[in-house]
Structure 1
Amino acid sequence: MIDRHPRTEISFNVNGHTLHGTLTLPPGPGPHPAALCLPGSGRVDRDSNAGRLRMDLGVPLAQTLAAAGIASLRYDRRGVGASPGDWREAGFLDNRADAAAIFNALRDRPEIRSEAVGVIGHSEGAVHAMWLGAHEHPAAVVLLAGYARSGKEAVLWQASRVAGTLPGPIRLITPLLGRIGARQLAAVEATTTDVARVGGMKVNARWWREQLVHDPRADLPGITAPVLAITGEKDLQVSADDLEVIASLVPGADVRRVPDLTHLLRRDSQAPALTSYGRLLRQPVDAGLLTEVASWLAPRLSAR
Structure 2
Amino acid sequence: MREEQVLVQSGVVQLAGTLYLPDSARPCPVLIVLHAASGGERGFFAYRHLAETLPAQGIGMLLYDRRGSGASSGDWATTSFEEQAADCLAAIASLSQRDDVLPDRFALWGISQGGWIAPIVAAQSRAVAAMAIISGAGVTPAEQMDYAAAYTLREAGFGDAIVAEALALRERVNAYYRGESGYAEVAAALGAAESAPWFAYSYIGPASELPADVTTDKWFYEFAYDALAIYPRVQTPALFVWGAQDRWVPAAESMRRFCAATAHLPDRMFAQLPGADHLRMAIASAHEDMRGAYSGTPEIDPAYTRLLIAWLREHLL
The TM-score, its normalising length taken from structure 2, stands at 0.78
Q: In structure 2, the residue corresponding to 1:57 is in which secondary structure?
A: helix
Q: Matches of residues 43-82 of structure 1 in structure 2 within 5 Å?
A: 44-47=40-43, 49=44, 56-82=45-71
Identity %: 24
User: Which ranges of structure 1 fall in alignment gaps of 5 or more residues?
Assistant: 50-55, 191-196
Q: For residues 27 and 189 of structure 1, do their structure 2 counterparts lie closer, same or farther at Cα, with a shift above 3 Å needed?
A: farther
Residue matched to 2:147: 157
2:20 aligned with 1:28: no
2:222 aligned with 1:211: yes
Q: For residues 281 and 97 of structure 1, do their structure 2 counterparts lie closer, same or farther at Cα, with a shift above 3 Å needed?
A: farther
Residue matched to 1:243: 255
Check conservation: 2:82, 2:117, Cα contact below 8 A: no
Q: For residues 147 and 214 of structure 1, do their structure 2 counterparts lie closer, same or farther at Cα, with a shift above 3 Å needed?
A: same
Q: Matches of residues 113-262 of structure 1 in structure 2 within 5 Å?
A: 113-137=102-126, 138-165=128-155, 167-168=156-157, 174=163, 177-178=166-167, 180-186=169-175, 199-201=207-209, 207-241=218-252, 242-250=254-262, 251=265, 252-262=267-277
Q: Deviations over 1:18-67 (max 9, x none)?
A: 110110001211311111111111462124x3xxxxxx022221221111
Q: For residues 207 and 164 of structure 1, do their structure 2 counterparts lie closer, same or farther at Cα, with a shift above 3 Å needed?
A: same
Residue matched to 1:94: 83
| Alpha-carbon shift at residue 129 of structure 1 (Å) | 0.8
| Alpha-carbon shift at residue 187 of structure 1 (Å) | 5.4
Q: Quick one: distance in 1 between partners of 2:287 and 2:38?
A: 22
Q: Deviations over 1:82-118 (max 9, x none)?
A: 1134322323332232223223323333321011111
Q: Quick one: distance in 2 between partners of 1:224 and 1:239?
A: 25
Match of 2:10 among 8, 14, 29: 14
| Alpha-carbon shift at residue 171 of structure 1 (Å) | 7.9
User: Which ranges of structure 2 fall in alignment gaps of 5 or more residues?
Assistant: 180-204
| Alpha-carbon shift at residue 80 of structure 1 (Å) | 0.8
Larger radius of gyration: 2
Q: Quick one: distance in 1 between partners of 2:159 and 2:71?
A: 39
Structure with more relative contact order (C-alpha pairs < 8 Å, separation 6 or more): 1
Q: Quick one: distance in 2 between partners of 1:25 and 1:7?
A: 6
Q: Which piece of structure 1 moves more, 237-246 or 262-271? A: 262-271
Q: In structure 2, the residue corresponding to 1:216 is in which secondary structure?
A: coil
Q: For residues 102 and 208 of structure 1, do their structure 2 counterparts lie closer, same or farther at Cα, with a shift above 3 Å needed?
A: farther
Q: Which piece of structure 1 moves more, 245-254 or 64-73? A: 245-254
Q: Quick one: distance in 2 between partners of 1:271 and 1:20?
A: 31
Q: In structure 1, the residue corresponding to 2:89 is in which secondary structure?
A: helix
Counterpart residue identity of residue 35, structure 1: L
| Alpha-carbon shift at residue 121 of structure 1 (Å) | 0.5
2:276 aligned with 1:265: no
| Alpha-carbon shift at residue 75 of structure 1 (Å) | 0.7
| Alpha-carbon shift at residue 253 of structure 1 (Å) | 1.2
Counterpart residue identity of residue 151, structure 2: R
Q: Quick one: distance in 2 between partners of 1:67 and 1:232?
A: 25
Check conservation: 1:10, 1:20, Cα contact below 8 A: yes
Q: Which piece of structure 1 moves more, 197-206 or 236-245? A: 197-206
Check conservation: 1:66, 1:72, Cα contact below 8 A: yes
Q: Quick one: distance in 2 between partners of 1:255 and 1:115?
A: 24
Check conservation: 2:138, 2:257, Cα contact below 8 A: yes
Q: Deviation above 3 Å: which 4+ runs of structure 1?
A: 169-190, 197-207, 269-281
| Alpha-carbon shift at residue 174 of structure 1 (Å) | 4.4
Q: Deviations over 1:203-232 (max 9, x none)?
A: 995542232232121222332221110011
Check conservation: 1:78, 1:84, Cα contact below 8 A: yes
Check conservation: 1:91, 1:206, Cα contact below 8 A: no
| Alpha-carbon shift at residue 180 of structure 1 (Å) | 5.0
